Amino acid sequence: MHPDDKPWWKRATGYQIYPRSFNDSNGDGIGDLPGIIEKLDHLQALGIGFVWLSPVYASPMADNGYDIADYDAIAPEFGTMDDMQRLVDEAKVRGIRIVMDLVVNHTSSEHAWFQAACASRDAHEHEYYYWRDAAPDGGPPSDRRAVFGGSAWHWVEAVGRYYFAYFSSGQPDLNWQNRQVRRNVFAMMNRWLDRGIGGFRMDVIDLIGKDLDNGVLEQGPDLHPYLQEMHREALAGRDILTVGESWSVTPDTALQYCGRERYELDMVFNFNHVVAGWDPEFGRFKPKPLDLPLFKRILGEWQTALAEDGWNSLFLSNHDLPRAVSRYGDPDRHRVASAKMLATVIHLMKGTPYIYQGEEIGMTNANFTRLEQFRDVETFGQLEDQRAAGVSEADFIAGANRTGRDNARTPMQWSDEPSAGFTRGTPWIDVNDNAVHLNVEADRADPDGVFGHYRRLIALRRQLPIITEGGYRSFDDANPCVFGYVRTLGDQRLVVVGNFTGERASIGVPAEGWGEGRCVIRNGPERTTIDSPLSLAPYESFAVLITGVDG
Ligand code: ISL
Ligand code: CA
């Protein structure tokens, strides 16, 4: 251990739990908090330092909890406030902190504030949301579309106005310009932090400073003043982790969120590498094949931008994205090798890595065949839009199977028992057929399993300061098949290489080369020297630590 190692999240690896799909303790088909507690030993064995827990608050579940009806209550299907406290305490015993999801760009339409806001224009809560009069023709005030399809404006007869909801109609946006909104949110955050949680992951936080009348939603003029106010009122002086989700942040604006003199957030989730793989017109539902040089360049730009200040978060998947091995690897012919290669390349960069549940065993996309199998509100919103654009149902299903959000939400595959050991009942969403052979029990029993590889990477991050502190330099950037970079710290070099293809491929190594070293992780043959050109087996990856390098 490094006693002077502050903050703790620089050496820790995170693990995201999507509670609905993690583990069901009572047979109702829905994952829950007692179910998570049952599996804490699995997470401890993996070695993670904290959990990012997707929302468990009271909610009508229009968007699986990203629509919160009461920030101070737990959804009954997930458990009770006592279960939540038990989770925090039981995790702490195992050295794991619980980071809660904070969804404050919007509430649920069933939140008491919104109910009051809809009842009368005179209610002070009316001002907590964005209301506009109808256009002269009675239609919505603008043609702004919602993320989940349809207009972003919704009529409420009782007050004779439209409200703004950027996601679904059940997720009205909070008006952060209202001081009482901010006070209420900060007070709520303090209550949660006082219960001993490890911090917050902040949902679509780049939207809270919006200037609706000028059509500015992301990174609006008030965003950073509000984050600084939040820091003063709720975060300052606490030993916690804060990570903001931002679909608009780029390397140019990153330090505005997480620069050390800013007093805002510790780090952000950026999606530059994700969006680069989408169709410019049809977005996520029409992904492009991976452009490795572009992918490398984007990740490298982030490494460089936050080399001296700020901090990166490192991830390939979450509950909104396809499974990493399906998107970037080969889930059929090279599932295990490609899952390990992707982990190696991501986890040995500078930043805090996040593992999405199931990634640690290389879980794959869903492969649904019928529309009735899908559950996601975004998928059904897209379906309407795409039907209108003439896309066939078969094409739509193919697209949703590649990039839809349900891919990440099929139940966690624990064993080869019925429903993958996730539930004794009927799961709320179908289990992937491959659970009979792809499950935690089987993978952990295999000395060459994916889990063991992740466990080694997580341990290495705690052991080697070069991973947390070292510089970053990529090589052979134009190589379309292989990712290679070197981390540097004092007289040490950590050379990391990964083949992103199912064929043999080679990479050019800088002329000065490196001497002999020690292989610290690999999914192929033992390697101690890095000769040029370096030839790799399909999806081979490894890292070699070299010491005593001068210059
Ligand atoms: O991928 C997306 C853009 O096409 C969206 O689905 C994206 O997930 C969304 O813009 C931001 O996500 C976050 O906020 C949403 C919630 O549905 C997501 O699960 C959450 O991660 C609204 O709260
Ligand atoms: Ca349950």
pLDDT digits (tens, 9 = 90+) for 125-146: 999 999 999 999 999 999 999 9
Averaged pLDDT for residues 534-544: 97
pTM, 2 dp: 0.97
Q: Which ligand 1 atom is the nearest neighbour of the CA of 405?
A: 6
Question: Contact, 195 vs 95, CB < 8 A?
Answer: no
How confident is the prediction for the chain on average, in pLDDT?
96
In this prediction, residue 285 carries a pLDDT of 78
State how far the Cα of 438 lies from the Cα of 220, in Å rounded to an integer.
44
How far apart are alpha carbons 196 and 362 in whole angstroms? 32
Say which of 245, 266, 360, 406 is annotated catalytic. 245
Q: Would the pLDDT of 107 be above 70?
A: yes
Percent of the chain with pLDDT over 70: 99
pLDDT tops 80 at residue 210:
yes
Compute the Cα dihedral for 47, 50, 51, 56 and give only its sign: positive
- 3-class secondary-structure state, position 432: coil
Q: Could you give the dihedral angle defined by the CA atoms of residues 517, 475, 274 and 395, in that order, rounded to the nearest 10 degrees?
A: -100
Instruction: Answer yes or no: 266 catalytic.
Output: no
pLDDT tens digits for 234-286? 999 999 999 999 999 999 999 999 999 999 999 999 999 999 999 887 788 78
Does residue 243 contact residue 267 with C-beta atoms inside 8 Å?
Answer: yes
Q: Is 167 in the pocket of ligand 1 (CB under 6 A)?
A: yes
Q: Per the residue annotation, which of 77, 125, 203, 320 is the catalytic one? A: 203
At 2, the pLDDT band (50, 70, 90 cuts) reads: very low
Pocket test for ligand 1, best of 104, 147, 403 (most atoms within 8 A of CB): 147
* 41-65 average pLDDT score: 98
Nearest in space to 61 (alpha carbons), one of 147, 154, 150, 168: 168
**Looking at 126-135, 337-346, 384-393, 495-504, which range is the least confident one?**
384-393
Position 79 scores a pLDDT of 98
